[in-house]
Amino acid sequence: MTGCVVVENGVIKKVIPRGGRTPAHADAVIDGKGLTLLPAFIDLHAHFRDPGFPGKETLESASLAARAGGYATVVCMANTKPPLDTFEAARSLRERSAALGLIDLHPAVALTKGMEGKELSGIKRGLMKQGNHALSIPDPPLLFSEDGKDVLDDALFLEALAAAAQLGSPVSCHCDNGGVEAEKAKQSGEPREVWSRIEENNATERAIRLGSQAGCALHIAHVSTKEAVAMIRDAKRKNPRVTCEATPHHIALAEKTAALLGAESFGRVNPPLRTEEDRRAIIAGVAGGVIDAIATDHAPHAAQDKAGGAPGFSGLETAFAVCCTELVRNGVVSLQKLSSLMSAAPARILGLKDRGVIREGLRADLVFVDTEAEWIVEPSAFKSRGKNSAFAGRKVFGKTLATMRAQAMRVVTV
């Protein structure tokens, strides 16, 4: 929009279009002329590595990276050490994050204890709370996820999905486990691109089937195969509670880039960068509305871990630019649609009704972007400790310049 946003006590008080009457007084005025003001981004999927892996990332470095990338709200995954498998652990991380005051962090809670796939996690005690309000257990998390492990036992997975349904929180499924068929392909020496495709496709089919059976809101993480896109398109026709995300790296890159970077080292990610045909299917899914949201899957690693094959890319600080370049400049979607993929849609999936768009009465989580800025990705400049970007040295368009969060603001932006 062009115009003025009036913020008071962290809330958007007024949105005044160009030419409208701006307030006579303000404690502070931020002049964003020539820039674009968007709702701050909301990431459904990041790995903060805290507690347990300070060599890769810390709560502070990840939060600074999020802010630099335009994010004010982030869901971080449970694959920490120890894993986040209780509501209390999630609350304590959330409180540490609140003390830093950089972003609004929502830790996902694992579905099983220790992410071992044997018994239900704190999700079970969460259910007890529903029946007994005297128990002092924090509110349910905004999202549950077993991360890349999935829950292999069907009965236990179904129990977890039903518990999430009862608590009203969606479950994010990473769909990395393809059962016997994928295992057989792996054992018989098939290349990664073959067995990992079977993994994702089988796991997606299973998650949709069991999620629908349990009646829970099911979110499919980092969709990367054309078959999974098709399955999700079909599933959505029958069950509108199925949603999904795509990552900037699966939107922008394919197997060729992985090979150049080192398919088993600096180019390795789960799920892998796939064929050009898969990448096009993801882009068509974004354009056609099958893909609901863009999530970073920010996966910071130390250089020696990456050289040794640790999967994933540091993604918070390049997500907007990569998507602006690949989707907006290439004419796939408008800037408004990209904003909705990065803010309004994730807010809807998480049930956060107080943010995601610039509207009177909502949180003043905002980001200034320059859509024309042209820059070269230089990971050494990242706030994240993870310098493992698949975009290092690439020219991209679109820069996040300043992320503002509700709490601290009493300003007018012009």
Q: How far is the CB of 298 from ligand DOR (least distance, A)?
A: 9
Give how many residues touch ligand DOR by CB under 6 A.
Answer: 10
Q: How far is the CB of 313 from ligand DOR (least distance, A)?
A: 7
Site string for ligand DOR, 112-151 (x = CB under 6 A): ------------------------------------x---
Residues between 234 and 273 with contacts to ligand DOR, criterion CB under 6 A: 269-270
- The sheet carrying 11-17 orders its strands as 11-17, 3-8, 412-413, 29-30
Query: Residue 191 to residues 101, 143, 182, 195, 197: CA-CA distances in angstroms?
Result: 45, 33, 11, 7, 10
Q: Which residues contact 376 (CB under 8 A, 6 or more apart)?
A: 393, 394, 395, 396
Q: How far is the CB of 304 from ligand DOR (least distance, A)?
A: 14
Q: What is the DSSP letter of 4?
A: E
Q: Which positions are annotated as active-site residues?
A: 297
Residue entry with tokens 């990395």: 176
Q: How far is the CB of 176 from ligand DOR (least distance, A)?
A: 7
Closest to 224 measured CA to CA, from 242, 244, 239: 244
For ligand DOR, give the closer residue by CB, 175 or 406.
175
For ligand DOR, which residue of 299, 322, 338, 345 counts as binding (CB under 6 A)? 299
If one asks whether residue 349 binds ligand DOR (CB under 6 A), the answer comes out as no
Site string for ligand DOR, 68-87 (x = CB under 6 A): -----------x--------
The residue whose Cβ lies closest to ligand DOR is 312
For ligand DOR, which residue of 149, 174, 274, 279 counts as binding (CB under 6 A)? 174
SS3 321: helix
Handedness of CA 308, 282, 201, 204 (dihedral sign): positive
Cα separation, 32 vs 413, in Å, equals 7
Residue 344 near residue 356 (C-beta atoms within 8 A)? yes
If one asks whether residue 170 binds ligand DOR (CB under 6 A), the answer comes out as no
For ligand DOR, give the closer residue by CB, 174 or 355.
174
For ligand DOR, which residue of 32, 122, 248, 312 counts as binding (CB under 6 A)? 312
Q: Which residues contact 42 (CB under 8 A, 6 or more apart)?
A: 71, 72, 73, 74, 342, 343, 346, 347, 350, 352, 355, 356
How many helices, marked H, and strands, marked E, lie in the chain? 14, 15
Q: How far is the CB of 144 from ligand DOR (least distance, A)?
A: 15
Q: Tokens in use for 98?
A: 């609140």
Q: How far is the CB of 255 from ligand DOR (least distance, A)?
A: 15
**Which chain residues interact with ligand DOR by CB under 6 A?**
47, 79, 148, 174, 269-270, 297, 299, 311-312
